[in-house]
Amino acid sequence: MSTLTLNGVRKSFGAMDVLQSIDLQLEDGEFLVLLGPSGCGKSTLLNIVAGLETPTSGDIFIGDKRVNDVHPKNRNIAMVFQSYALYPTMPVERNIGFGLEMRGVEADTRKRAVDGAARMLQVDHLLDRKPGQLSGGQRQRVAMGRAIVREPELFLFDEPLSNLDAKLRAEMRTEIKRLHNRLGTTVVYVTHDQIEAMTLGTRIAVMKGGVIQQLADPMTTYEKPANMFVAGFIGSPSMNFVNGTLARDGDHVVLQTEGREPTTIRLPRVAANLDGLDGRQVVLGVRPESFSAATGDTADLVGTIDVVEPTGPDTLVVLAVGGQTITARLGPKLTVSTGETLGLTIHPDSISLFDPKSGGRIG
């Protein structure tokens, strides 16, 4: 059964269209990550699901019930906010139990539920404190406790980790994954951190300008981005884009680059879908880790080294290739220096071709 269904949901604030016809279907137990740059409408979408905003048009179903006109409290959801939104005047215990309190749950039952949730999140020793007396990580845990104590059908998270420092964030990320495995509740999770998206999501919806650009599982999103925006948004350093024209050179398909000093990039022998594209203008997308250093005739392309950045586990090399810039992630003990020429091969199976006008994926 699907937990959440959105049909043609639109939202505009005055003249500004923030969401443009969002369709989405979420199966039980899924972990959907909404990923996108700031201001693309992620929070707005989440708020519409929660019932905090009304959509301009479109339908929202939770379970099989249309909930457009249902009060947030009756949607059987729980939400965790970026700022945690803990009630400053109430101690932790009441904060966690407030939802149950408002639903008229008896004090005994409530206490048991709160204790259970608090123990699960290791905040049972903090129950008497006010939110102001907690650290950022502890507040985060209390906010999660407040969400799980009600055992909702659907969790909504709005950038819950973005206020934590890097170490805590990694820790809580694991914690959330563990929690999801344990409870099996459906989750919609908003973030603009692609690592969170890749590690947590069973599916990722990449959004831009109020439109879902791609909705797929993390690996597909990474390896077969639906368009240049998704390709560029996911992955760090981001995917290399080279403009050029496809041509055939014997056995190979090559890319004749544009720019000040045109050169030729040999594409690996891949799927037949390159056939029939001769002479077409494209944008070639290659992830930095899809290159390896090569010499002589085996090299698919040759460039001049511009910058060398050793990061420890590997070395980032920025090359000028025919007037365009390419970043390659190469092995750790590379002995190259600026100004030298370097040959690279491209791994088969890991190139993307985009239409330069629409940005959409060709092959």
Which residues would be at the binding site for ligand ATP (CB under 6 A)?
13, 18, 36, 38-44, 192
CA distance 192 to 33: 9
Q: Cβ closer to another protein: 107 or 195?
A: 107
CA distance 345 to 290: 8
Q: How far is the CB of 47 from Mg ion (least distance, A)?
A: 9
Of 73-81, 308-316, 326-334, 354-362, the segment contacting another protein by CB under 8 A is 73-81
Span between the terminal Cα atoms of the chain, in Å: 34
Q: Cβ closer to Mg ion: 49 or 321?
A: 49
| Closest CB to ligand ATP: residue number | 43
Q: How far is the CB of 205 from another protein (least distance, A)?
A: 22
Residue 43 lies near Mg ion (rule: CB under 5 A): yes
Residue 316 lies near another protein (rule: CB under 8 A): no
Of 32-40, 68-76, 118-126, 276-284, the segment contacting another protein by CB under 8 A is 68-76
Q: Cβ closer to another protein: 13 or 248?
A: 13
Out of 79, 92, 234, 317, the residue judged to bind another protein by CB under 8 A: 79
CB-CB contact of 352 with 361 (8 Å)? yes
Q: Cβ closer to ligand ATP: 37 or 360?
A: 37
Residue 240 lies near Mg ion (rule: CB under 5 A): no
Phi and psi (nearest 5°) for 275? Answer: -65, 145
Q: How far is the CB of 84 from ligand ATP (least distance, A)?
A: 15
Report which DSSP code applies to 361. Answer: B
Out of ligand ATP, Mg ion, another protein, none, what residue 70 binds, judged by CB under 5 to 8 A for its kind, is another protein
Residue 70 lies near another protein (rule: CB under 8 A): yes
Residue 89 lies near another protein (rule: CB under 8 A): yes
Give the contacts of 210 (CB within 8 A, at least 6 positions apart). Answer: 11, 17, 18, 19, 20, 22, 40, 41
Out of another protein, ligand ATP, Mg ion, none, what residue 336 binds, judged by CB under 5 to 8 A for its kind, is none
Give the type of residue at 190.
V
Catalogue the E-assigned strands of 36-90. Answer: 57-62, 65-66, 77-80
In the numeric block, the tokens 């563990």 are attached to: 178
CA distance 286 to 240: 5
Judged by DSSP in three states, 352 sits in: strand
Q: How far is the CB of 85 from another protein (least distance, A)?
A: 4
In the numeric block, the tokens 């930095």 are attached to: 288
Residue 324 lies near Mg ion (rule: CB under 5 A): no
Q: Cβ closer to Mg ion: 43 or 290?
A: 43
* Sign of the four-CA dihedral 186, 63, 49, 153: negative
Q: Cβ closer to another protein: 10 or 280?
A: 10
Tell me if the bond preceding 356 is cis, omega within 30° of 0: no
Judged by DSSP in three states, 8 sits in: strand
CB-CB contact of 218 with 234 (8 Å)? no
Task: Tell me which residues touch another protein (CB under 8 A).
Answer: 13-14, 47, 50-52, 69-74, 77-79, 81-83, 85-89, 98-99, 102-103, 146
